[in-house]
Amino acid sequence: MTLAQVEATARAAHTGQTDKAGRPYAEHLSAVAEGVRARGGDEEQIAAAWLHDAVEDDALSAQWLREAGLSSRTKDIVLAVTKRAGEPPEAYAARILATPGALLVKESDLAHNADPARLAVLDEATRKRLTEKYARMRALLGLVG
C-alpha cells in the first residue's frame, strides 16, 4: 500500500469516531503521522502512525493487518503500539521499546494526546487523569523533557 492508500484506509476505518474532546478521530491520526514525519520518521513509521489505533479500536481487524500490503516492520510497529486488554503499562512499554521504530510512533502519539490545547477542553478530573497517565508512560519509555 502507498502512504496515500494507508491514510485513506485509516480515515475510512475511523469514520464517525471522535476523540475525548468530540473532534473527528482522523485529526488525531493526522497529527500523529505528521509528528512522526517531523521527528524524522520514515514512510513505514508514518504508515504505522496512521494505523496506530486501528486494531486497538477495532476499526480494522488483526487479520486485516496481517493480510495488508504493508511491510512487516509497519505491521510490527502497529502491533507493538496496540494496547492489549488487562496488560500492565510496564509490559506495554517493554514491547514498544523492543520493536524497532515503535518508540517514535508512540512518542508522537503521546505528544498529541498530551497537547495542552487538547486537554484544556476536557473536564478537570479527566484532564488530570490523562496527564498523569501520559507522564507515566513517557517515563516508562524513557522519554524525558
pLDDT digits (tens, 9 = 90+) for 56-71: 989 999 999 999 999 9
Distance CA 76, CA 15 (A): 24
Question: What is the pLDDT, as a whole number, of residue 20?
Answer: 83
Lookup: cell for 133? 497517565
Considering the entire predicted model, what is its pTM?
A: 0.95
Q: pLDDT, tens digit, for every residue of 29-43?
A: 999 999 999 999 999
Distance CA 77, CA 72 (A): 9
Identify the helix (H) or strand (E) that includes residue 133: helix 124-140
Lookup: cell for 88? 500492565
With beta carbons less than 8 A apart as the criterion, state whether 36 and 81 touch.
no
